[in-house]
Amino acid sequence: MGPIQVKFENRRCFTGALVLGDETLSGAVPMKDMDIIVSPAKQSLMVNPESPNIATSIAK
């Protein structure tokens, strides 16, 4: 289903999601689009400290 808007801290993106019963699944694409990383030490998600104000990515 979609598009849906995903927000995290100062980031947002539009994506699709898979709905299974009462659960919604979205993948790694929104995390990559918003430049969010997983912090194993804090066991949480966080905005990439190398680009705190604007999401960046490298096109390949």
What is the structure's pLDDT at 51? 86
What is the structure's pLDDT at 40? 93
* 58 lies in some domain: no
* 55 lies in some domain: no
What's the domain count of the chain?
A: 1
Q: In the block, which residue shows the tokens 């912090």?
A: 39
* 30 lies in some domain: yes
What is the structure's pLDDT at 58? 72
Question: For residue 16, what are the domain limits?
Answer: 4-47
* 31 lies in some domain: yes
* 25 lies in some domain: yes
Using CA atoms, how far residue 4 sits from 12, 15, 17, 40, in Å, is 10, 5, 7, 27
pLDDT along the chain (60 residues), means of 10: 88 90 85 90 91 79
Contact 19, 9 (CB under 8 A): no
Q: Residue 34: which H helix or E strand, with range? A: helix 28-34
* 60 lies in some domain: no
Give pairs for 33-36: CB < 8 Å, separation 24+: 33/57, 34/6, 34/8, 35/11, 36/8, 36/11
